[in-house]
Amino acid sequence: MKIGIDAVAFDVAKIHLPIPTLAKARNIDPEKLQKGLGLEKMTLPDVHQDVVVFGANALTKLIQNYNIDLSKIARIYVGTESSIDSSKPISSFLISLMEQKFGENTLSNCDVVDFTFACIGGVDAMQNCIDFVTLNPTKKAIVVTTDYAKYDLNSSGEYTQGAGAVALLIASNPRIIAFGNTWATSTKGVFDFFKPYRTLAKTDITGNDANEAWFDNLESEIEIHKDQPVFDGQYSNQCYMDRTRDAYFSFKKLKNTSQTVYESWTSIVMHLPYAYQGRRMLSEIYALDASNSTLSGAEETTVYQNKLKEISKSEAYIEFVSKKLKPAELASSLIGNLYTGSIFMGLLSTIAHFYDTKKEISGSVFGFLAYGSGSKSKVFEGTIQQDWQLALKDVSLFETLEKSFEIDFETYEKLHKKEQHQSVCSPKNEWILDRIESENPNLLGARYYKWVD
């Protein structure tokens, strides 16, 4: 029995800052970001948007475009690292909004939960849903990945920002891709990238040494949540490479093969914090599996890194990247980082590219190398199904991305600092954040959404 992705939909922030505009403002050579990292545009939320809005829009499109019978949906699982509440999951917001639009109690028997493990949480949610449908083949599940990758102004991660969501219908006998039963994992508990609660002494805010109540905070320390992470770029890259390498060779061992696994994959889909991250991270696996060797602890790090640089610049590797990785990079260049949605946008980018170029890929095997900081990698594969083109006809990925609205640098900084209070683009046929309760003490902070025709 085949289990996999039967349908897909997405929603990406409709406004963007061109990368050359950011580069000029930050005194960075634009070619370093465009040709070096593959970046062209950076999307970000409008005033009326947040991760619930992106997730709800993607889910609504999925339901409408594919005429999904909600009575058949047993699970809606969300992958995110941009939660807006420490208790109430995004999935509970989504189920409420879908019932607003499609009928009260239409999803009252549906199980919902959020998965959080940095950028790999969406893959975790999908694997769980695949296991569920395998045991219950008459039922269907939906995975929604929704995130806002926000970084501090002037930080080294600023130019990788992005925002949006991807929704997937998981079912038996899928039309798009069926996944194999072999999943390999590599996990280590590290601090390469994380979003801790920060604290400030109350006296530093009030100037009063007495621990008096401050906006109902009785504690002497004030906790602050920021969307922006704490991260070490070089260390995070190394963790990405280490986890992915270990998971890849674990996958090869589980497959019980001595052959070069990536050669059997028509396309390779990886987590892309920026468009060219995958090609940079994969050079080690490319070298080691081709030579059927393992990482040598005896080699000096600098010598080994120099060897990888040579390989990554070789004609053979450049051709390999163009053939197997580039299709997944196309959308990333125009969107930015989608965190949990990045790998699924890479899949959508690949098949949309083949759809637009009229290339038949039925029966092709795709390899997936997922990564989430903290850190964990999963490697798995799937086979493109006969009806994949039928399931893609209404997606219009690149046509949609072309319609993105360009903003200037001043507007970008105002949005980032939350100084912009009027939407850049008027919402139409989409969900919006309507208001956040600020008066009723029993509902303080509750977020309310509505559909705008």
Each residue of 41-63: pLDDT tens digit? 999 999 999 999 999 999 999 99
Across the chain, what does the average pLDDT equal?
Answer: 95
pLDDT of 312 reads 85
Residues paired with 165 in a beta bridge: 11, 146
pLDDT higher than threshold 50 for residue 354: yes
Of the two residues 312 and 275, the one the predictor is more confident about is 275
pLDDT of 120 reads 98
pLDDT of 435 reads 97
pLDDT higher than threshold 90 for residue 95: yes
pLDDT higher than threshold 50 for residue 297: no
Instruction: Tell me what the mean pLDDT of segment 64-84 comes to.
Output: 97
pLDDT higher than threshold 80 for residue 65: yes
Flag the least confident range among 3-7, 207-211, 306-310, 343-347: 306-310
Q: Is 159 within 8 Å of 23 (Cβ atoms)?
A: yes
Give the DSSP letter of residue 197.
Answer: P
Kindly report the pTM of this predicted structure. 0.96
> Torsions phi, psi of 138, nearest 5?
-85, -10
**Tokens 């990886």, residue?**
270
Length of the chain: 453
Q: 3-class DSSP state for residue 147?
A: strand
Angle at 174 between CA 184 and CA 56, to 5 degrees: 85
Residues paired with 286 in a beta bridge: none
Of the two residues 362 and 297, the one the predictor is more confident about is 362
Six token digits for residue 102: 């499609």
Flag the least confident range among 12-16, 220-224, 377-381, 398-402: 220-224
pLDDT digits (tens, 9 = 90+) for 384-439: 999 999 999 889 999 999 999 999 999 999 999 999 999 999 999 999 999 999 99
Q: Where are the domains of the chain?
A: 3-192+232-282+325-452, 195-224
The H-or-E segment that residue 403 falls in is none
CATH of the domain spanning 3-192+232-282+325-452 = 3.40.47.10
pLDDT of 151 reads 98
Instruction: Tell me what the mean pLDDT of segment 206-216 comes to.
Output: 89
Q: Is 120 within 8 Å of 371 (Cβ atoms)?
A: yes
pLDDT higher than threshold 70 for residue 258: yes
pLDDT digits (tens, 9 = 90+) for 137-194: 999 999 999 999 999 999 999 999 999 999 999 999 999 999 999 999 999 999 999 9
CA diameter of the chain: 71
What percent of the chain clears pLDDT 70, i.e. is strictly above it? 97
Residue 150: how many other CB atoms lie within 10 Å = 19
Angle at 164 between CA 61 and CA 392, to 5 degrees: 45
pLDDT of 299 reads 54
**Tokens 């009260």, residue?**
104
pLDDT of 305 reads 75
Of the two residues 208 and 339, the one the predictor is more confident about is 339
* pLDDT band at residue 13 using 50, 70 and 90 as cut-offs: very high
pLDDT of 293 reads 55
